[in-house]
Amino acid sequence: MQKTPNIELVHFSEDFVEQLHGFELPAEQHQFTALPKDIALEKVGQYPIVILSDDVPVGFFVLHATERVKEYSSNPNAMLLTALSIDHKQQGKGYAKKGMLVLADFVKQEFKDCNEVVLVVNHKNMAAQNLYFKVGFVDNGERRMGPIGEQILMHLSL
């Protein structure tokens, strides 16, 4: 009998530092996102989130409730999602999709005022675009220029 891994989103804690610092990404993915070890985790209004599979960190992202959100949404109750990554050793197991599928419930529970999550994805990053479409993010046609080219602004209503 095959056991389905239990996927859970949790707030970052020091317990996860060693494992998160061990995350690796191939160069073609690293150009689109940041590794957990490269992110300042102590900024006010930034909430680092760990994707756990049976209590093992397999992924990571950051939710922002900072002034930066206003660059992407006029909704005062929106949050910005950045830096989603799945450790290279854990890729291909559906963790990103499973983590994003529980995002809405997690955000509604943890951030009661939030009713929208926005993100930008590079137009060349087809894997990420497909993931975000599959889990309910919508492309309203808004585009931005980012550090490595055009970015697609996507929205998830909660």
Answer yes or no: are the C-beta atoms of 81 and 99 closer than 8 Å: no
pLDDT above 50: residue 56: yes
Domains of the chain in start order, with CATH, are 7-157 (3.40.630.30)
Q: Is the dihedral of CA 22, 29, 53, 100 positive or negative?
A: positive
pTM value is 0.93
- At 3, is the pLDDT very low, low, confident or very high (cuts 50, 70, 90)? low
Q: Is the dihedral of CA 125, 49, 30, 145 positive or negative?
A: positive
Three-state DSSP string of 82-125: EEEEECHHHCCCCHHHHHHHCHHHHHHHHCCCCCEEEEEEECCC
pLDDT above 70: residue 61: yes
Instruction: Write the pLDDT tens digit of every residue in 17-48.
Output: 999 999 999 888 988 998 888 887 778 999 99
Average pLDDT score over residue span 60-64: 97
Distance of alpha carbon 81 from alpha carbon 30, whole angstroms: 17
Distance of alpha carbon 146 from alpha carbon 46, whole angstroms: 20
How many CA atoms are closer than 13 Å to the CA of 99, on its beta-carbon side? 25
C-alpha distances out from residue 76 to 45, 67, 108, Å: 14, 10, 15
How many CA atoms are closer than 13 Å to the CA of 57, on its beta-carbon side? 24
Kindly state the tokens that stand for 86: 């799945």
Residue owning tokens 């996507």: 154
Instruction: Write the pLDDT tens digit of every residue in 63-109.
Output: 999 999 999 999 999 999 999 999 999 999 999 999 999 999 999 99
Distance of alpha carbon 79 from alpha carbon 111, whole angstroms: 9
